[in-house]
Amino acid sequence: MSAWKAGRRSGGDMSGGGGGGSGSGDEFGRAVARAAVAQALEAAGFDCAHRSAVDAVVDVLLRYITHLGRSAAFHANLAGRALANELDVIQALEEVGNDTDGFAGAAATGRCLVGSGVVRDLMAFVDSKDEVPFARPLPRFPVQRVQPQPSASPAVAVAVAGREAGMRHVPEWLPAFPDPHTYVSTEVWVEPPATKDRVDKVEQARQRRKAEKSLLSLQRRLAMAGADGFRPAVAVVQDSAEKGKEIQAAGTKRNPFLEPALPPGEKDVSEVDMPPEKKKLSVLEAFAPVIQARTIREIDAGAGLDQNQRSIVPKERAPVHLKLGFEKKPLAAALNSRALDLREDPSFLKEEAKDDKKRRAGMILRASMENPQELPQL
């Protein structure tokens, strides 16, 4: 019956000016309905009306129409039909109910719908309506039909043309195809492959070089860092001397043999004047193979036998040709690290006793500094 207790609080909310709350885009339909409602109100006897009240009536009316349509469609679908029948409409009318009082014959079941009370009420209404003077019927043009039809007239010609062009399988009511350039794949202009290959090769070569360089420096750094206390600055190619000092300050063990190049006498800790980068490296390299050769023997002799070191120092420098210069041999670095490990032990164990030994070693090292310069550079 009153299956349509549309909770009209939303209608109640539209107060004051013109009730724009419920409208949602179909403004024209609302305007048309407003005119129809106003006409009906005037015909009923009202002199004027509140605008909000008129808008409320308009909203109710549109909802009524929509509800009728929906229930009629529902009944049609229920019966297995797509298109609605007049009987569906009558059923919908019965369902909606004109009044809470119902209509005559509502309780009777199993009756033909044609003779239903609703229809009779409607007919009575129609008959009664004839008494109303023929007011302006307001014939409207089908303005609502101006929905964006995809198959509008300009496109129809295209569709028709398409039909004749061979797309007869496409029904006419479908929209026309868009411009062919939007979906036809055309050939993309391909760059001449020659230049591309060249560029690729150059790029690859550059990347390979970069990779090699970084790998080399990484290996060197790893080897340097592997040895405790060995300042990686010693073996790593340094762009500036400060880098070496700074790495030293990072907290490596104080190896007197690895102190940065301080002026002689300034610090008694460091007895060895670190040679300039090249020399320093070469010196260590000079020692590296020697010390490696004597690794086991030195260890057995106990850390700190400076005599061994001293003996090592002058002996085996010659065969070393390595130069930890700017392109490098991680091998040399590894050897150096091992050598420095050995040197560490003595330095830590017997600090005071080694002072003058260190001085002597420093002198020898200094002497040996010049020699590696004569070595052939690798």
Partner 1 sequence: MLGSVVRKIPDELVEHYLGRSGFHCPDLRLTRLVAVATQKFLSDIASDSLQHCKARVAAPIKDNKSKQPKDKRLVLTMDDLSKALREHGVNLKHPEYFADSPSAGMAPSTREE
Residues 21-40 within binding reach of partner 1 (CB under 8 A): 26, 29, 32-33, 36-37, 39-40
Position among 123, 161, 215, 222 found at the interface with partner 1 (CB under 8 A): 123
Residue nearer to partner 1 on the CB measure, 25 or 154: 25
Beta-carbon neighbour count of residue 88 at 10 Å?
Answer: 22
Beta-carbon neighbour count of residue 302 at 10 Å?
Answer: 11
Position among 80, 109, 112, 130 found at the interface with partner 1 (CB under 8 A): 130
- Rg of the chain over all Cα atoms, to the nearest angstrom: 51
Report if residue 47 touches partner 1, rule: CB under 8 A: yes
Between CA 149 and CA 213 the distance in angstroms is 67
Question: How many CA within 13 A on the CB side of residue 373?
Answer: 10
Report if residue 94 touches partner 1, rule: CB under 8 A: no
Between CA 225 and CA 231 the distance in angstroms is 7
Between CA 79 and CA 88 the distance in angstroms is 9
Position among 20, 23, 78, 86 found at the interface with partner 1 (CB under 8 A): 86
Residue nearer to partner 1 on the CB measure, 89 or 320: 89
Binding part of the chain for partner 1, among 53-61, 245-253, 318-326, 367-375 by CB under 8 A, reads: 53-61
| Neighbouring residues of 107: CB distance < 8 A, sequence distance ≥ 6 | none
Position among 17, 137, 265, 376 found at the interface with partner 1 (CB under 8 A): 137
Is 153 in contact with 172 (CB distance < 8 Å)? Answer: no
Position among 17, 80, 110, 142 found at the interface with partner 1 (CB under 8 A): 142
Binding part of the chain for partner 1, among 10-18, 274-282, 299-307, 366-374 by CB under 8 A, reads: 10-18
Tokens 């106990």 belong to: 302
Between CA 246 and CA 239 the distance in angstroms is 12
Q: 179-186 — which CB contacts under 8 Å span 24+ positions?
A: none
For the CB of residue 143, give the shortest distance to partner 1 in the complex, in Å: 7
Position among 122, 241, 303, 363 found at the interface with partner 1 (CB under 8 A): 122
Report if residue 113 touches partner 1, rule: CB under 8 A: no
Q: What secondary structure letter does DSSP report for 187?
A: P
Report if residue 288 touches partner 1, rule: CB under 8 A: no
Position among 52, 217, 219, 371 found at the interface with partner 1 (CB under 8 A): 52
